[in-house]
Amino acid sequence: MATPSPPNLSKTLSDKASNLLNKVNDAQSIFNPVTQLLDTYLGSEEVRALPPSSRKLLTSLCLEFKATIEQHFDAFVTGPKPSYIQKASTPIIALTNKTPSDNRLFKVLGPNASLLREVQEVKTGFALCTSSTANLLALEKQKAIISSAIGDCKIEAQEKWTIYRLNYVPKKVIIFNDQFKIDSILVTKDTISDAIKEYSSQVLTHAIQSQTNPSPNEYYSTWIVSFKTGAKPLKKNLKILGANISTSLLVQKPKITQCNRCFQWHNARTCLKSQICRLCGSGKAYREQSYYQLWY
């Protein structure tokens, strides 16, 4: 029995290219006279003499002609688009995906999951919230489990800071440079940290210039500095950087959001009450309002 010869790929490709070229030539012979006639009319003096409003309407009409001609040209060359029935009958090849593993932190902690109340997204990552200080201390002992579940991360407990506002901090100070000449430098975080450490023997935890400073032409600025809670309180007036700087303690107040279910002041994710009306506080009124919104 003779072995069948392999298909001639070059001839197959050449035949397809020849058929496609014949279709393009046929389409050009059909639609080219129409486009030439339209181009000739658009370049005539009659069109140039039209007022702008009429030319605007003619331009929109020409754009519709252009889209229609392109649509018929493409359909003549490549064939019509498949209908809805043809698309529906085409088999869909679905990729089999593996079921993802349950790697939630509540699942990983196992019997210690009750220590974790919720997880919130913050600017520096994620905050693991607990309901009490005892649960926080117990959750800190599970750092190894949490670290292995999350991956490459840094886990640390939130430090309690005492925050002060420093007012009337000069933007520049006069110093003697290395050549023993008078020079002026900008006040930075390190400058304030060194000055406070020299004045009160306290180490700053954080310092940042306030964004609510006066205009750039002013000579003074406002800084927010932080110390670890328990440190010696600052005096109301600090004589540093060649100025008399006033200090004020910032008291942090917890921001409590309003629940969108019962409209009390607590976290909505922990609310177990039924939905009520925001105006009258009735659950029946809320259900009637939802019914009318559904039908009207």
Point out the residues of the chain with pLDDT beneath 50. 1, 290-296
pLDDT digits (tens, 9 = 90+) for 75-113: 777 776 666 666 666 666 655 555 555 667 778 888 888
Pairs from 155-162 (Cβ < 8 Å, separation ≥ 24): 158/127, 159/205, 159/228, 159/229, 160/228, 160/229, 161/205, 161/206, 161/226, 161/227, 161/228, 161/229, 162/226, 162/227, 162/228, 162/229, 162/231, 162/233, 162/249
Task: Give the pLDDT of residue 140.
Answer: 84
Over the stretch 211-245, which tens digit does the pLDDT of each residue have? 776 556 578 888 888 887 777 778 888 888 888 88
pLDDT at 15: 79
Task: Determine the 3-state secondary structure of 217 from DSSP.
Answer: coil
Q: Hey, which residues does 226 pair with through a beta bridge?
A: 163, 206
Q: What pLDDT sits at residue 102? A: 60
- The mean of the pLDDT values for the chain is 76
3-state secondary structure of 34: helix
What is the token pair recorded at 197?
């450490």
Contact between 33 and 69 (Cβ < 8 Å): no
Instruction: Answer for the pair 128, 135: CB distance below 8 angstroms, yes or no.
Output: no
β-strand 243-250 against 161-170: which pairing, if any? Answer: antiparallel
